[in-house]
Amino acid sequence: MNNPTYITNIAQVPQLSASEKESLTTVTDRFAFRTNSYYQSLIDWTDPDDPIRRIIVPNVGELANWGTLDASNEGCYTVAPGIEHKYPSTALLLVTDICGGYCRFCFRKRLFMDDNEEVPKDIGPGIKYIREHAEISNVLLTGGDPLTLSTRRLSEVLKQLTAIDHVRVVRIGTKMLALNPLRVINDATLPEMVRQFSAGICIYVMAHFNHPRELTPEAIEALRLMRSAGAVIVNQTPLIHGVNDDPAVLSELLDTLSFIGVAPYYVFQCRPTLGNEIYSVPIEQGYGIVTLAQSRCSGLAKRCRFVMSHDTGKVEVVGRSHEMVFMRYHQAVHSRDIGRMLVLKSNPEARWLDDYGEIAVGRDQGPTHKIGAMPPCNGDAAQSASSSVR
């Protein structure tokens, strides 16, 4: 099969009417648009609510003034050009500002705006920072999508990272296996590169399948090739309104992933990023959806955690009663918060941790305090965590 053609102008989508193209131009003038002929072929164009269409085709609802461009305050943890260090053992290295397609609910859509300079052309300062911080054992390659890089360029990045003794894991965050699996199938040098570097380091592919219809024969073959080359593959997806916020759909996704040897890792609460209101599901409703979906799956398929990437840490939603919601810091900026339980008064409208106001906590958890207190900025929090947690 030939490599797909990329589409970056909404006027080039033949399935849309002239009036749709005109109205959606107001959206693409604000937020970048990119797709390709392979992914477009997965859409049932007779269904205006088709979930694949919802993932990739703009919606005028994105123009609602809701959310911020940096909902998880990533700028706070940028410690050198193109590198974030929020948790002691893990650093995020931004290697590109291009994706195979721009998901409409993307939490980093700011990177694809004309005036954004967060992704540097030279990753040298990021590599230097990683080399100088021995607590970093995991490096996540992200952006943008690392698999939009040429295999030669990606190999150069991996070569620099594998030369650092304390880096034991490299994670490749990618949606290309869903958006364009031919990137793997038609380039034998990519699995070979993974095989080469897997001999000395563990390579994790953090796949991004949102809906079971993305798991086409081509996608499954691309996953097989990467697994055969030695990559460990896990999947993470946000819970997206109109895409996978149905327990039957989500359970099918989780089960199918487990059938092909891909571990479900995280189901994320959709971040309150500018333009994302129409894709967001209230937290407590989301917890019910995830729990019911997991109840229909085998143990292998239900390993994912329902979490939100809050600026203070990765917060897992673990339970609810009629009046209360229970959460736990799965990971945290400050060591004192790791494992901390949050007992919150129910708010069915809440879509982010900050929407709950105050935390009601037990005596062993310390005093009641406000949600969403901002941590130190300009890398101070990451440096503090690095020195206090091992």
Per-residue pLDDT of the chain (390 residues; tens, 9 = 90+): 899 999 999 999 999 999 999 999 999 999 999 999 999 999 999 999 999 999 999 999 999 999 999 999 999 999 999 999 999 999 999 999 999 999 999 999 999 998 888 999 999 999 999 999 999 999 999 999 999 999 999 999 999 999 999 999 999 999 999 999 999 999 999 999 999 999 999 999 999 999 999 999 999 999 999 999 999 999 999 999 999 999 999 999 999 999 999 999 999 999 999 999 999 999 999 999 999 999 999 999 999 999 999 999 999 999 999 999 999 999 999 999 999 999 999 999 999 999 997 666 543 444 444 555 444 554 444 444 333 322
For residues 58 and 11, is the Cβ–Cβ distance under 8 A?
A: no
In a domain, 68, yes or no: no
Residues 109 and 34 occupy one common structural domain: no
Structure tokens at 264: 């479900």
For residues 185 and 225, is the Cβ–Cβ distance under 8 A?
A: yes
- pLDDT value at residue 376: 52
Residues 51 and 182 occupy one common structural domain: no
Residues 159 and 304 occupy one common structural domain: yes
Residues 59 and 83 occupy one common structural domain: no
Residues 53 and 94 occupy one common structural domain: no
pTM assigned to the model? 0.93
Domain boundary residue among 63, 90, 111?
Answer: 63
Q: If you search the block for the tokens 């260090």, which residue do you land on? A: 85
Residues 101 and 249 occupy one common structural domain: yes
In a domain, 1, yes or no: no
Q: Which domain holds residue 243?
A: 74-388
Q: How far is it, in rounded angstroms, from Cα 197 to Cα 385?
A: 30
The total number of structural domains that make up the chain: 2
In a domain, 132, yes or no: yes
- pLDDT value at residue 300: 95
Residues 280 and 299 occupy one common structural domain: yes
Q: How far is it, in rounded angstroms, from Cα 188 to Cα 42?
A: 24
Task: Tell me how far CA of residue 58 lies from CA of 53, 209, 228, in angstroms.
Answer: 8, 19, 36
For residues 298 and 258, is the Cβ–Cβ distance under 8 A?
A: yes
Structure tokens at 267: 């189901």
Q: What angle do CA 84, 87, 90 make, to 5 degrees?
A: 70
Q: If you search the block for the tokens 């199938």, which residue do you land on? A: 185
Q: Which region, left, alpha or beta, applies to residue 242 given φ > 0 means left and ψ of -120 to 50 means alpha?
A: left
Domain boundary residue among 40, 63, 86?
Answer: 63
Residue 157 has a CB neighbour count (10 Å cut-off) of 21
Which residue type, as a one-letter code, is found at position 16?
Answer: L
CATH of the domain at 212: 3.20.20.70
Q: Which residues pair with 138 in a beta bridge?
A: 90, 169
Residues 121 and 95 occupy one common structural domain: yes
Q: How far is it, in rounded angstroms, from Cα 90 to Cα 96?
A: 19
In a domain, 69, yes or no: no
